Amino acid sequence: MRRIDTKNIKAATYLAFALIPLSGFVLDIYIPSLPEMSSQFHTTPAAIQLTLSIYLITYGISQLLIGAFLDSVGRFLPSTIALFLFSLSSFCIANADSIKSIYLMRAFQGIMVATIVVSKRASFFDLYAGEKLKHYTSLFSVIWSAAPIIAPFLGGFLQVNYGWRSNFYFLGIFGIILMLLEILVSGESIVEKHPFKLKQIISDYTAMLRTRDFTTGIIILALAYSILMVYNMSSPFLVEKVMHYPANITGNAALFSGVAMMAGGLLAKYYIDKPFTIKIKITFGIQIIGAILVMFINQWYNTLYTLLAYIAILHIGTGFIFNTVFSYCLTRFATNGGKASGLSGGGYIIFTAAFSFGVIRSLSIDSQFWLGTSYLILVIITVFLFLRTKWINN
């Protein structure tokens, strides 16, 4: 297996950062197209929203196994093959004529993207250590938040000008380009491979899950990400069906959402050395007060601007919490980089799919008031879990 060339480590690091947001990019790019897809396939909004949940569930579950698999066989070859198969599945979706075939391909994409993203996250544990590793892991969610900025904005443009299928043609071409770059500049990063022993893997995962702060951190990540997912699932119908704006406005609002998430992540990076529990508690307080205020304001004003107010207050806080807690979980078991990456990323994604789809099905989010209500419920549950847990770096 070709080892990564020392002179290419910097370029490979940049490529890894480019691939980490792929999971969110694949999720968000066709959000402005959800109403058109619902009409074209003559199905309900919930049936189209299920394509998001199916992708999330398979993406999450796959990470649980792929992390250990990559610790055994390496990072480079699996991620390269996965990029090719991801592109192929994107072209299949672009030519799909039934919702069931899209469900199948979205599940397959979840597995491929999990392979790509986990391998790239784990490569940082192979190449870096100490403060440099801490610095890079704190950038993961900041870089990841580029996807909610770029993807819906691009998807809105593609939807208005070329229709929903163009989103998946774009993903297919994009995947091929990334695969070629991977072959050119990257290589195998793992130094010591761990034998794939199922008993040992189960033992390692069990030990991690029995660590209360790690497990609670995964659930908090899921609740935080669910805020973004609930918005992503409901905003196209609020903006396009209730407010009667075109699809590109959905993309612009999603871009604003991504900027807010990234701003929160950058703030978390700036305050990385501040006491862990204090900065999280302050953020929770701001989120709760903000959600209540905007819900009351919504009684008199129900416009795109109040929707953006929700985003500004809640999503900045969400980005801050997500970045801080995700970095905490990833570095909690640094000696098992692949497993920790897979369990952290996979665990929170599985819970996110359940939480967000549960909220969407339980609450009829046909107004900003109910959107704010869903946010408030998720934040209060998060606060309860956080306060009941002892964290190691206060």
Distance of CA 104 to the CA centre of its chain: 20
What are the pLDDT digits (tens) for 15-58?
888 888 888 889 888 888 888 898 899 888 878 888 988 998 89
Mean local confidence (pLDDT), 268-277 = 83
- The answer on pLDDT for 254 being more than 80 is no
Instruction: Give the pLDDT score at 239.
Output: 78
pLDDT category of residue 334 using cuts at 50, 70 and 90:
low
pLDDT category of residue 65 using cuts at 50, 70 and 90:
confident
Mean local confidence (pLDDT), 106-121 = 91
Domain chopping of the chain, boundaries: 6-387
Instruction: Give the pLDDT score at 364.
Output: 67
More confident residue, 72 or 365: 72
Enumerate the β-bridge partners of residue 188. 3
pLDDT category of residue 267 using cuts at 50, 70 and 90:
confident
End-to-end CA distance of the chain: 42
What are the pLDDT digits (tens) for 296-329?
776 666 677 777 877 788 889 888 998 888 888 8
pLDDT category of residue 1 using cuts at 50, 70 and 90:
low
Instruction: Give the pLDDT score at 291.
Output: 76
- The pLDDT mean for the chain works out to 83
DSSP for 191-250 reads SSPPP--HHHHHHHHHHHHTSHHHHHHHHHHHHHHHHHHHHHHHHHHIIIIIS---HHHH
SS3 content of the chain, % helix, strand, coil (to 5): 80, 0, 15
Instruction: Give the pLDDT score at 260.
Output: 86
Instruction: Give the pLDDT score at 160.
Output: 86
Six token digits for residue 259: 């900027």
CA–CA dist 35, 39 (Å, integer): 6
Average the pLDDT over each of 90-104, 291-305, 380-394 and give the range with the smallest value: 291-305
Instruction: Give the pLDDT score at 203.
Output: 83
Cβ-contact 45, 237 below 8 angstroms: yes
- The answer on pLDDT for 394 being more than 60 is no
Mean local confidence (pLDDT), 136-157 = 76
Instruction: Give the pLDDT score at 12.
Output: 85
Instruction: Give the pLDDT score at 81.
Output: 94
Instruction: Give the pLDDT score at 68.
Output: 73
Mean local confidence (pLDDT), 226-234 = 79
pTM: 0.72
- The answer on pLDDT for 220 being more than 80 is yes
Give 6-387's CATH code, choosing from 3.20.20.100, 1.10.760.10, 1.20.1250.20, 3.40.50.2300: 1.20.1250.20
Per DSSP (E only), the strands in the chain are none
Average the pLDDT over each of 42-46, 163-167, 183-187, 294-298 and give the range with the smallest value: 294-298
Instruction: Give the pLDDT score at 200.
Output: 77
